[in-house]
Structure 1
């Protein structure tokens, strides 16, 4: 039996309080000072016992030293467990949300945009095959066009297989993918029929046979009215998932930071209170074990809050700064290839020339938008806007995909890459206008050569520059997105969870070990 001063003091305190576990009266006469009316009946049953228990627990005499130590110890242990549970919930949810955004929905959205691009370029190559015809001057170009068509067809098949796998839990996405799968074979059959009829007719450049043109029209209408909208639906569905999960995670991380902060402060307050009781009632300056737990808890709290803050920052970087630009530019590239196909359609199908001109304008407006622009005024307005932007890069006097990107410049090299996209797009529009002038002047073969040529100053060369600049800008953002996701994966991997579990277990054990010797003095 311990005979220390602290032990004697505690024993005296217990005796004055009537013992540690001594029974309290539950009935009998009203105590002195009671405000109950004379002759009032004392409540009986469960309610009476509850009221009596609350009065007992609330009395100062009830909280003897061992009871106070046990209560604060229980509170400290509960707060530590709550801190661990809160950190697990907040950081685990952030890890799952980041995984959904970065490794599922975002790649699926960009893959669907890539499908749109592959389908658009397939149709552009099919139009170019009719455009060059049987003209020997374009024999090399015809072979290159056939090779590109096959390459895009394989790319579309691969994208479709991946889209079908990723849409397993999305009924709307499944329907869209199934529509593309079902109709793509019909499209390819119509294109093959168009090519066969063209070869049989041995038509000159820019003048396909009526039968070949009719087959191509059916194929192009099928693509534009069914395949491309379905591919765009898959993209939009995944974009919506990214936006939804991002919004939820941003809110959860903001709320979770405060929950972690409050629960962490509660744990620290309980530990400090416990140490103070031990110091005052046992006349000890410090309890080494509890001091270690307090320090460990403070470090864990600061680390947890920092992880939540870092995760939130990485999430903003990955989604708002990088992914938004990736998907915007991926859509822009897909639309650009459809726009490029509209040029060839315009040349081979004079009966629908007005339709293809309007389609070309709409695709151009999707990339760089001006309110109220027409095909006749578009180039002038674009030139004015480009000149103004070059004088002041913060001035972006247009909308569309490229306007959105120039408003979201974040990373090193992104501004210059986006400027190259704008310059290449503006030059491409100039060449397109020149091609239409040649066609209007009756110089069809010159217009075809300008449209299909790969030399500098010709349309397909310039379109290649535009496509490369878009891809370069996508790559800058994709690299930043991958880096932010990798940083989050590193912060919230299994080793972090294991370390957190070890820290929590150590804190709980140290708390028990720090209190146990003091409580043993009362046995």
Structure 2
């Protein structure tokens, strides 16, 4: 038993020793007589912690695939360029609509809104000023039988201007519905005009009762007229001027904004249009190369139409910008300068009559007359005594070399001559203004010499060489110059209205729809080959 067991044990050791790897000692097994240990399992591959995972990783992988040449098979390339072309055409249509629509709205605001309202407010100022001038003339001629016909004519003119002022106020009130500042100014005129008219009527009644001679109104009538003219100059005229200024500010703001938009819009439209042409050309070339065709008629037509539409759109933008400059800078600026000049001139004419009618305030009215003369034609440093002489010198220099050596509203106009016939009309204004100033100087000489009735006759007379005649010539010349510019402004606005009307918008929509359809028609047969 013992011997056999030992033999079996030895045999086992031998077997174990024989099964050991080469180069290993038999005694190196840590557990003699125990079973051999199992070989270790291979370790799982480690994922580096820095590699991206999730949605961002998938997007980057997709971008890498799309960036590879293998991804862009012919159908994918054609579909991508088709989508790009369609998007570019839609972008071109949207850009053109925005730019040209803004041009139409801006021109409408200036041409049909703020500019006419500003001119109407200036006309209101003119009507109010002439009302007061006629009231002063009625007070000045009094009950003198030598002026009976003139009294009737003057009273008729006063009533005409009152009706004109009422009409201007009604229109100004309607136009100021959306402008709180203008609305307040109009309401102030409406509220005070009745008081003014009542004071003028009282002055006339007192004058008729006193039967005062020419140039010497009764103190009671003069007091009532002072109250009336103070109300006019301190309340009515500033309020009318406020309405004018508010609309002028709107015109200036819209003009500056619209010109900036049109300039930027031109370049934006050009960029989008060129992008559309490049996309269409790339699509055309891809079809030619991948399908071995020289030209795709539908895409060629779309490319040609797009080029024509782009050129037409850029031309319309340039035309709208040119019309805007004509309407505002060339025409409106002259209209408003001359409208203000005419309104101030009528108030100046009233000062001439006030000077004769009210000796207590004669120096004040003489000073305000000069201030208003300077507003029309500014001659720096001129005084009442030398104004007409310096005006002669400045006018002679202008006629000699066409320079404008003076400022004021008339200086603004003569520096902005643009349209046929405008220079002749403006120079007639200058000539009439010179004649009127010469007569005014004579009136003051007669007054200072104590020849009051002769001064009154010269001031109120309607014959050539008398003040009211010469002033009427001045007013007509101003009106003619305003008409030249008003017609040009209306023509520029109408040109933009015609170019950007509903017909243009409808035609553009039809052309865009046709272009989109033609792109689809040109590409669809090629893509069907891959179905």
The alignment's TM-score, normalised by the length of structure 1, stands at 0.92
CA distance in 2, matches of 1:376, 1:438: 14
Q: What is the aligned counterpart of 1:389 among 395, 398, 402?
A: 398
Q: What is the aligned counterpart of 2:471 among 452, 463, 486?
A: 463
Q: Indicate the larger mover: 414-423 or 43-52.
A: 43-52
RMSD: 1.2
Is 1:179 aligned with 2:188?
A: yes
In structure 2, the residue matched to 1:495 is: 503
CA distance in 1, matches of 2:182, 2:400: 44
Q: Offset at 1:42?
A: 3.1
Is 1:485 aligned with 2:493?
A: yes
Q: What is the aligned counterpart of 2:383 among 365, 374, 383?
A: 374
CA distance in 2, matches of 1:279, 1:52: 31
In structure 1, the residue matched to 2:69 is: 60
Is 1:438 aligned with 2:457?
A: no
Is 1:331 aligned with 2:340?
A: yes
CA distance in 2, matches of 1:280, 1:38: 45
Runs ≥4 residues deviating over 6 A: none
CA distance in 2, matches of 1:279, 1:320: 52
Is 1:137 aligned with 2:146?
A: yes
Instruction: Classify the secondary structure of the residue corresponding to 2:293.
Output: coil
Is 1:219 aligned with 2:228?
A: yes
In structure 2, the residue matched to 1:17 is: none
Is 1:277 aligned with 2:323?
A: no
In structure 2, the residue matched to 1:521 is: 529
Unaligned runs of at least 5 residues, structure 1: 1-28, 31-36
Is 1:98 aligned with 2:107?
A: yes
CA distance in 1, matches of 2:132, 2:243: 20
Q: What is the aligned counterpart of 1:349 among 343, 358, 380?
A: 358
Q: What is the aligned counterpart of 2:435 among 393, 408, 427?
A: 427
Q: Offset at 1:83?
A: 0.2
Larger radius of gyration: 2
Is 1:358 aligned with 2:367?
A: yes
In structure 1, the residue matched to 2:117 is: 108
CA distance in 2, matches of 1:41, 1:456: 102
Is 1:166 aligned with 2:204?
A: no
CA distance in 1, matches of 2:251, 2:53: 61
Alignment length (residue pairs): 488
Is 1:147 aligned with 2:147?
A: no
1:150-187 CA-to-partner distances (Å, cap 9, x unmatched) read 10001001100110110111111011001000000000
Q: Offset at 1:46?
A: 1.3
In structure 1, the residue matched to 2:421 is: 413
In structure 1, the residue matched to 2:275 is: 266
CA distance in 2, matches of 1:310, 1:173: 32
CA distance in 1, matches of 2:348, 2:500: 44
Q: Offset at 1:53?
A: 1.4
Instruction: Classify the secondary structure of the residue corresponding to 1:167.
Output: helix
Is 1:127 aligned with 2:140?
A: no
Distance change (3 Å), C-alpha of 1:40 and 1:59: farther
1:87-106 CA-to-partner distances (Å, cap 9, x unmatched) read 00000000000000000000
CA distance in 2, matches of 1:42, 1:113: 77
The alignment's TM-score, normalised by the length of structure 2, stands at 0.91
CA distance in 2, matches of 1:39, 1:207: 112
CA distance in 1, matches of 2:445, 2:340: 29
Is 1:205 aligned with 2:222?
A: no
